[in-house]
């Protein structure tokens, strides 16, 4: 069970926070009502907040790479994800093996084909961080919950991110989030750094916003013989 929980934590634990923040991104132009003397990171964050508030659904293909500071080992994953506000989410991992993560607003279910197990838990229990749950339930506020800044000189590899967000209150899994934004004003790359300097990087393609998503997408019946573990 401990090994299974480590597998669970590798993927969805960070992703709840990441996706709720990522959905808010759109064009980088300053929004109305933002003072011109505010810093560029604050302007970007304010624009993201407005986009987040009006976005209803989000779908995309994703690729994920996780690396640890003291290890050369990289863990890779890829698949498709969909979010429908308020409170519905599904991640389908196709690589390295089939995994399905679903939240129907009340419960989180995580299915692992390789081990024929599905873990079910209360959504609020799973989303223990207030910041995380605020975004997941549609009540997040970027400038209230995060410090918007730049990476500065401490970013060592490749072009620096366009924006860095640091939780104002300590988050159990996230030290800071870095965002790269493409020419269309959409986030194409995210990098999450935890308190041990481990990195989780996400790249998004084929993005679709505000399209109708059938409610059945957030239902999942595991194959016969699957062990159900309730927590």
What pLDDT does 92 receive?
Answer: 95
What pLDDT does 35 receive?
Answer: 47
Task: Indicate the pairing of strand 227-230 with strand 199-209.
Answer: unpaired
How far is the CA of 200 from the CAs of 94, 110, 111, in angstroms? 18, 19, 21
Question: Hey, where are the domains in the chain?
Answer: 2-230
What pLDDT does 24 receive?
Answer: 45
Q: Which two tokens stand for residue 108?
A: 């989180």
CA torsion, points 2, 68, 61, 187, in degrees to nearest 10?
130
Name the CATH code of domain 2-230 (choices 2.60.40.10, 1.10.10.10, 2.50.20.10, 1.10.940.10): 2.50.20.10
What pLDDT does 181 receive?
Answer: 74
| Residues 44, 63: Cα–Cα separation, whole Å | 25
What pLDDT does 19 receive?
Answer: 52
What pLDDT does 184 receive?
Answer: 67
Task: Indicate the pairing of strand 187-193 with strand 199-209.
Answer: antiparallel
Nearest Cα neighbor of 89 from 123, 112, 119, 117 is 123
What pLDDT does 188 receive?
Answer: 82
What pLDDT does 151 receive?
Answer: 81
Listed as ranges, residues in the chain with pLDDT below 50 are: 1-11, 17, 20-37
């Amino acid at each position: 069970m401990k090994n299974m929980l480590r597998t669970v934590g590798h993927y969805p634990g960070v992703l709840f926070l990441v996706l709720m923040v990522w959905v808010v991104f759109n064009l980088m132009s300053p929004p109305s009502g933002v003072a011109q003397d505010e810093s560029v990171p604050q302007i970007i964050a304010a624009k993201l907040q407005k986009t987040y508030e009006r976005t209803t659904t989000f779908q995309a293909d994703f690729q994920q790479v996780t690396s640890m500071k003291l290890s050369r080992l990289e863990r890779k994953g890829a698949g498709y994800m969909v979010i429908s506000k308020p409170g519905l989410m599904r991640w389908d991992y196709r690589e390295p093996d089939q995994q399905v993560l679903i939240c129907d607003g009340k419960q989180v279910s995580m299915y692992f084909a390789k081990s024929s197990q599905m873990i079910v838990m209360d959504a609020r229990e799973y989303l223990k961080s207030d910041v995380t749950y605020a975004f997941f339930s549609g009540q997040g506020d970027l400038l209230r919950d995060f410090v918007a800044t730049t990476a500065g000189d401490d970013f060592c590899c490749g072009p620096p991110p366009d924006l860095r967000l640091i939780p104002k209150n300590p988050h159990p899994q996230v030290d800071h989030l870095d965002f790269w934004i493409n020419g269309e004003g959409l986030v194409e790359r995210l990098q999450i750094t935890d308190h041990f300097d481990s990195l989780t990087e996400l790249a998004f393609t084929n993005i679709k916003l505000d399209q109708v998503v059938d409610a059945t997408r957030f239902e999942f019946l595991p194959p016969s013989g699957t062990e159900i573990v309730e927590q």
